Amino acid sequence: MNIIEFIQHFPNEESCESYLKAYREKTGIYCKTCKSSPKQYWFSGKKFFECSQCRRRTSLKAGTVMESSNQSLHTWFTAFLLMSATKKGFSCLEFQRQLGLKRYQTAFSLMHKIRTVMGKRDDLYFLNGMVEYDEAYVEKATKKALQEHLKRGKGSQKQSIVAVASESTPLENPQTGEKSRHCGFFKMKVLPNVSADSVERFVQKTIDRESVLFTDKNPAYINLEKMVESHIQIKSSKDSTKANLPWVHVAISNLKKNLLGIYHMVSEKHLQNYLNEFVYKLNRRYFGEQLFNRLIIASVYPYVQHYE
Ligand SMILES: [Zn+2]
């Protein structure tokens, strides 16, 4: 959906309400007491559903990312539009200005709630087939006084460690024999450190056991072969790693440009949420204007069932 269509479809609170009501009725309203989705009655005056079995009331926002928010549906829908409108994303100040929000904190909280939804949505999927894996080191915001005492360079305390994985299918042109690689879905998670334990936990949560995993050589990867179909380690220098793990490194370089361009410095506490937004959009790079609808779907229906 582009901005013109958005203004036509969602000019006010009522239009957002009727869209959300219809969507929730179509997908089934989850009753937290019955732990299922029995038939619900709609009370239009007070705007809630009532469970036909236990009479528990469910508001339009309940069970969605908008639950317990004072912001109007129209503000939320506009926020979904802004968050899905550009590849790069908005800074929080710009987002606050565009939504006409009085407080910076409100904008910040809205954005991070939506980023959490994006991450939860992507957590539902595993990478499979041929998969590349490496770590990225991202500059983080630290208190100035502390910075002076911290080490410089790779793995220093001024950098956060991010695990990055990408589906990577090798292709060969049958006529020329020329080899290339096609990428699929990506994953990025903040790691506490590059220990065998941390890397294994990431692989277990994000990569299908049937996959073929490509990495460079690192003692932390020692047990990975037990977690996938096959683990191929490539001894590498700085340059050959980029050639052997091409998509992971394209993604890392784009991530750094993105973080630097919009947010300058990101604190480690919030880094995962920025990664969620970046990867969500990267994984849906061909969705175009469908991204808005997908974001509403991710924000509304499966929220309660999957994330309770
Ligand atoms: Zn019920």
- What's the 54 CA to ligand 1 centre distance in angstroms? 4
Ligand 1 center to residue 298 CA distance, Å?
23
Reported pTM = 0.89
The fraction of the chain above a pLDDT of 90, given in percent, is 64
Task: Please check whether residue 31 is in contact with residue 53, taking contact to mean a CB–CB distance below 8 angstroms.
Answer: yes
- pLDDT tens digits, one per residue of 275-299: 999 999 999 988 888 899 999 988 8
Burial 237-246 (b: 16+ CB within 10 A, else e): eeeebbebbb
Axis crossing angle, helix 73-85 with helix 104-123, rounded to the nearest 10: 70
Contact between 131 and 257 under an 8 Å Cβ cutoff? The reply is no
Q: State residue 148's pLDDT score.
A: 62
| Phi, psi angle pair for 92, to nearest 5° | -65, -40
Ligand 1 centroid–CA 52 distance in Å is: 7
Please provide the CATH number assigned to the domain covering 130-268.
3.30.420
Tell how far the Cα of 50 is from the centroid of ligand 1, in angstroms.
Answer: 8
Measure 43 CA to ligand 1 centroid, in angstroms. Answer: 15
Where exactly are the structural domains of the chain?
3-123+288-307, 130-268
**What does the pLDDT look like over 195-244, one tens digit per residue?**
999 999 999 999 999 999 999 999 999 999 999 999 999 887 766 777 78
Report the distance separating Cα 291 and Cα 81, nearest Å.
Answer: 9
CA 304 – ligand 1 centroid, Å: 14
Chain segment 137-166, per-residue pLDDT in tens: 998 876 665 566 666 555 567 889 999 999
Q: Which of 66-75, 110-119, 124-133, 254-263 has the lowest mean pLDDT?
A: 254-263
**Residue range 18-28: average pLDDT?**
92
CB 112 within 8 A of CB 270: yes
Q: What is the pLDDT of residue 307?
A: 41
